[in-house]
Chain A
Amino acid sequence: MIELKNVSFTRDNKKIIDNINLQLDDKKFYCLTGPNGSGKSTLAKLIVGIEKPDSGNIYLNGIDITNKTIDERANMGIGFAFQQPVRFKGITVFDLLKFAVNKNISRHDACNYLSKVGLCALEYVDREVNNSLSGGELKRIEIATVIARNPSVAIFDEPEAGIDLWSFQNLNNVFKKLDSINKGVTLVISHQEKILEIADEIILLEKGKVTKIGKKDSILNTLFPNSKCCQKVKYE
């Protein structure tokens, strides 16, 4: 369980996160959505430890982690898939998965993680995590590193960004399965209706504040009120 109490974060005189109070429970799939610049990625980075709040506290299963470093939080069970996966020179997909699991794993184990994100494992396991991989491939490898850690809190920042439609469909299947694999908190930042549809709860962030939170059925209608209208215009 993750809990944010009175968390605020200001940069360049702009309040990016404005006194947020939020509780994310285990065994639930949350989708964090909202307009560009609403503070979604910053909120994720605050939980992961990449950014530190100016005020307020963050708790993981009741333990205050506000002053913990990124690696300390990772080792306490927080996993994070970056919006833009990082590229390396010389580090292979296998290396990255070994770091993620934090022990010597076999190639067979590594292949299993890659298969979970729909990659034909043997083709990828020895490749360097560099520019030779496409955006979609990097995104899947990024997700595989988070799955490999088996985190109690898994956070994915716009996993669908930069992925083609064909891959997106597969990615959605990955999340559907992930929900059952991960018995802790799953938080996905997304604008995609398809991902919102598989969430248990949707959190709407606007101008650094949580403006709506609730079951997907109650929130979805308010999020896309114009969708039918748009279709109507299209067909008319």
Chain B
Amino acid sequence: MNKVDELLLEEIVGKDLKKADALNIRKNGESIERKVSPFINIVPKKDKNGIDVFVKDDVKFGIIHIPVIITESGLTDIVYNDFYIGKNSNVIIMAGCGIHNDLHKDSEHDGIHRFFLSENSKVQYVEKHYGEGLGSGKRILNPTTEVYMKSGSLMKMDTLQIKGVDDTIRITKAELAENTTLVVNEKILTNKAQKAYTKFIVELNGENSSVNLTSRSVATEDSYQEFKSDIIGNTKCYAHVECDGILKDKGCIKAIPQIYAKNIDANLIHEAAIGKIAGEQLLKLMSLGLSEKKAEEAIIQGFLK
């Protein structure tokens, strides 16, 4: 790994890489480093690009890092990663992709992640997407996440796309069995002429399943963002979808939240609010001594925290 690789990795997973119990670093379409533990195994797929991650039953706590870095301009990397989480196990999975593109060809990473959560397992999934480089070639990231949750399981997803990604289509699908909870916090900031599409399809199939989905987006300059959610309540269940957007400059945000209750006991809520930064928020921070520009930055930083 060279300096660019190290800095890219630091952007997406921080400095905690060494704390991982299991690890797989992928660079320009190939695994360059792997670490496994007696409880967490990582096996490369034989029929296509990607890995299978196996977490045994009753693993009290484990940290898994699977970062991807792309520094080769013009590369399209499609990867299929599957995660099998054993019964009663509790893991943190840190994923993400950093693209450094200094040339004119487009660089693209499409990560298809599937999570199979066994009974009473818990997963915290953190995904950060980041792009940099001076080239005119686009930095494109299209993550697809599928989550299959068995009875009593919990999945918490935090996804963040803050900087430098030109085009993204994010698709998240989940199927929830009884007594399961899915919590999603998505944060996206776009600038220049960037485009970001995000879509959630969640089926609440088991009694007392619940989903809490929060999407916060900031569209600045000439960028465009589109949020779609399709939540289906098939039984006694609860869903709360909140889509908040802040607009700056000529940024545009379209939100299409859809909820479909198919059962008398399904309780589904959606809220969507898009607009510029509230004037009173600026006034309050300015009354604390922040300049208008600093106040605006603080509000956006807080919003995406």
With an 8 A cutoff between CB atoms, is A86 at the interface? yes
B303 in the interface, Cβ–Cβ < 8 Å? yes
Q: Chain A residues near B280 (CB, 8 Å)?
A: 82, 86
State whether A90 and B302 are in contact (beta carbons under 8 Å apart), knowing that A71-B292, A74-B287 are contacts in the complex.
yes
Known: A74-B288, A74-B289, A75-B289. A90 touches B281 (CB 8 A): no
| A86 CA to B283 CA, complexed, in Å | 9
Q: Tell me the smallest distance from the CB of B297 to a CB of chain A, in Å.
A: 11
User: Nearest CB to that of A86 among chain B residues?
Assistant: B284
Contact, CB under 8 Å: B286 / A89 = no
Tell me, rounded to whole Å, the shortest Cβ–Cβ distance linking B266 to chain A: 25
B302 adjacent to A70 (CB under 8 Å): no
Q: Is the CB of B244 within 8 A of A100?
A: no
**Which residues in A have their C-beta under 8 angstroms from that of B299?**
88, 91
Q: Which residues of B contact A80 (CB under 8 A)?
A: 287
Q: Give bound CA distance, A99 to B70, whole Å.
A: 38
Interfacial residues, chain B to chain A (CB-CB below 8 A): 216, 244, 278, 280-281, 283-292, 295, 298-299, 301-305
Q: Are A88 and B288 in contact (CB under 8 A)?
A: no
By secondary structure, the B interface counts as helix
Within 8 Å of chain B (Cβ to Cβ): is A60? no
Query: In the docked arrangement, what's the CA distance between A16 and B305, Å?
Result: 41
Q: Per a CB cutoff under 8 Å, which of B283, B290, B302 touches A88? A: B302
Tell me the minimal C-beta distance from B288 to chain A in angstroms.
5
Among residues of A, the one whose C-beta sits closest to the C-beta of B280 is A86
Interface of A is mostly: mixed
B245 to chain A, nearest CB (A): 11
Contact across chains for A88 and B289 when beta carbons are under 8 A apart: no
Given contacts A75-B289, A90-B301, 12 further A-B pairs with CB under 8 A are A48-B287, A69-B292, A71-B291, A71-B292, A74-B287, A80-B287, A88-B302, A90-B302, A99-B285, A99-B290, A149-B288, A149-B289
B281 touches A70 (CB 8 A): no
**23 A-B interface contacts by CB (under 8 A):** A48-B287, A70-B283, A70-B287, A71-B286, A71-B287, A71-B289, A71-B292, A71-B295, A74-B287, A75-B289, A86-B280, A86-B283, A88-B299, A88-B302, A88-B303, A90-B301, A90-B303, A90-B305, A95-B298, A96-B288, A99-B289, A100-B289, A149-B289
Are A70 and B286 in contact, CB atoms less than 8 angstroms apart? Answer: yes
Contact with B along A65-78 (1 / 0, CB 8 A): 00001110011000
Chain A nearest Cβ from B273, distance in angstroms:
10
Query: Is A169 part of the contact surface with B, judged by Cβ < 8 Å?
Result: no
**Closest B residue to A77 using CB positions:** B289
Asked if A152 is at the interface (CB within 8 A of a chain B CB), the reply is no
